[in-house]
Amino acid sequence: MDYFVHPNALCESDDIGAGTRIWAFAHVLPGARIGRDCNICDGVFIEGDAVIGDRSTIKCGVQVWDAVRLGNDVFVGPNATFSNDVFPRSRQRPERYVETVVEDGASIGANATLLPGVRIGRGAMIGAGAVITRSVPANAIVVGNPARIVGYTDADEDGGRGKAARVAAPERVQAQRDREAAATPGSDDGTGHPDGARLQRLARFVDVRGSLSVGEFSRDLPFEPARYFLVFDVPSRETRGEHAHRRCHQFLLCVHGSVKVLADDGRQRRAFVLDSPDTGLHLPPMTWGTQYRYSPDAVLLVFASHAYDAGDYIRDYDEFLALATGEGP
């Protein structure tokens, strides 16, 4: 036996990976699958149709029920609660339990509760005591009851409020256009790698009559828009976007209120705050964009370089990562 079971633990499964440690008073039922180098702490109960990936840690007082699937490098804090039956009744078992999935590298805080059927995206962070009523995107940080997104792991959180290196003035837009025209087809800078999301200032005029912000499509935007859409009346805990485009550029302007935008190019993530009608955010193709933390009065105006094309969307984050890093088809 190349794994450790404490004398006071009961392990009835033989599908245990090398180097895994199962500590006192843990109970693992027949059929459960536990990967390599896991740490199963005191008082953990694991049912027979549970799956735990490699190098995962399950802290004390956790029950991992049938149809719960934990990926590699998952952390589950003490007394976190999983569930697998949407309408539980005593002595009544469903034909099949609802699958709950925690993807690679995600962390579940102490005393968090996950409702049946949710999927926790890779690298996500669930705060202590959070109640997860819906699936959580990759790398999101969620807290509260019901849980809502408050940020993203490893995102550059400078707020996107005008750092010189990240704000393109109108006179820089034509230079960017020239670079794109000379670039290899399908890339923005000739390297096959997008130039990156960036804030851009638009002209603003203020006098006693009020304020005016203006931009010319052919001069001030990094592309010629083919369509626009407006997003508004979004409950503050809702998340929008969560996809990338293969060819389409987008330019986001929050014309009222505020919204936070995460831009992810597959190598780094940056968070921007849009809270002024004279500052927009350019999202080039192959940028995974997510909008969250809408203020109640937020109105987001989006210009797009292409007409709507369902085939241009990449909605699966793993597929996006594979394409963005050159490992996809």
**Mean per-residue pLDDT of the chain:** 87
Q: Which two tokens stand for residue 46?
A: 């694991």
CA distances from 161 to 9, 86, 137, 198, 279 (A): 54, 44, 25, 11, 9
Give dist(CA 217, CA 2) in Å, integer.
66
Q: Is 243 a catalytic residue?
A: yes
Check residue 164 and report its DSSP letter: G
Q: How do residues 110-147 score in pLDDT, each as one tens digit?
A: 999 999 999 999 999 999 999 999 999 889 999 999 99
Q: How do residues 49-66 score in pLDDT, each as one tens digit?
A: 999 999 999 999 999 999
Lay out the sheet containing 75-76: strands in order across.
4-5, 21-22, 39-40, 57-58, 75-76, 107-108, 125-126, 140-143, 148-152
Terminal alpha carbon distance of the chain: 40
Q: Model pTM?
A: 0.75
Question: What torsion, rounded to 10 degrees, do the Cα atoms 171, 230, 300, 192 define?
Answer: -50
List the domains of the chain with CATH numbers. 1-153 (2.160.10.10), 157-324 (2.60.120.10)
Q: Is the pLDDT of residue 270 over 50?
A: yes
Q: How do residues 216-267 score in pLDDT, each as one tens digit?
A: 887 888 899 999 999 999 886 678 888 999 999 999 999 999 999 999 998 8
Of the residues 243, 245, 282, 306, only one is catalytic, namely 243
Q: To 5 degrees, how large is the angle CA 271–CA 273–CA 277?
A: 145
Q: What confidence score (pLDDT) does residue 214 get?
A: 87
Give dist(CA 299, CA 306) in Å, integer.
21
Q: What confidence score (pLDDT) does residue 218 get?
A: 79
Give dist(CA 67, CA 64) in Å, integer.
9
Measured in whole angstroms, the distance separating CA 197 from the mean position of its chain's CA atoms is 17
Check residue 179 and report its DSSP letter: H
In the chain, the amino acid numbered 249 is H
Partners of residue 236 on adjacent β-strands: none
Least confident of 233-247, 269-283, 310-324: 233-247
Q: How do residues 69-97 score in pLDDT, each as one tens digit?
A: 999 999 999 999 999 999 999 999 888 89
3-state secondary structure (DSSP) of residue 172 = helix
